[in-house]
């Protein structure tokens, strides 16, 4: 008889996303991005009023966690792009606006 192949051994485990860690890092490290990036998570948490952010996230299943993590990564990426493309006003323009403000 042919040996039966054990499919359980070869099955790859899906990599878990530690969303709580991701949220804490973004809160601690990125002060500029803090409000915008975490807003998605905070909004999600507020939708279920009496649960704090971390508890809300732990209640999500793996698929939802990955979705939320991707959303956050995308937002971070977009914010970084925006911050690079901002034009700096010339000194004269700043002085002019200041002068107009005084009038």
3: in domain:
no
- Model pLDDT, residue 38: 63
In a domain, 36, yes or no: yes
> Out of 5-19, 56-70, 88-102, which region has the weakest mean confidence (pLDDT)?
88-102
Residue 103: what pLDDT?
Answer: 47
Average pLDDT of the segment spanning 81-98: 57
Q: pLDDT tens for residues 31-55?
A: 655 566 566 666 666 665 545 556 6
Q: Is the pLDDT of residue 70 over 50?
A: yes
Q: Is 96 inside a domain boundary?
A: no
Do 57 and 20 touch, CB atoms closer than 8 A?
A: yes
pLDDT band at 19 (very low <50, low <70, confident <90, very high): confident
For residue 100, what pLDDT is reported? 55
For residue 49, the enclosing domain spans 19-83
The backbone region for 16, taken as left when phi is positive above 0, alpha when psi lies in -120 to 50, beta otherwise, is: beta
- Gap between the Cα atoms of 53 and 44, Å rounded: 8
**pTM of the predicted protein model:** 0.26
Instruction: Write out the two tokens for 19.
Output: 């969303």
Instruction: Give a yes or no: residue 88 inside a domain.
Output: no
Q: How many structural domains comprise the chain?
A: 1
Residue 85 predicted with pLDDT over 60:
no
Q: Minimal CA–CA distance to 40: which of 49, 53, 59?
A: 53
């Amino acid at each position: 008889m042919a040996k039966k192949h054990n499919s359980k051994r070869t099955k790859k485990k899906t990599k878990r996303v530690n969303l709580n860690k991701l949220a804490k890092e973004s809160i601690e490290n990125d002060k500029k991005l803090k409000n915008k990036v975490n807003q998605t998570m905070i909004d999600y948490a507020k939708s279920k009023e009496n649960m704090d952010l971390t508890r809300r996230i732990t209640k999500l299943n793996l698929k939802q966690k990955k979705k939320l993590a991707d959303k956050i990564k995308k937002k971070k990426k977009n914010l970084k792009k925006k911050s690079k493309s901002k034009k700096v006003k010339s000194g004269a323009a700043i002085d002019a606006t200041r002068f107009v403000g005084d009038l």
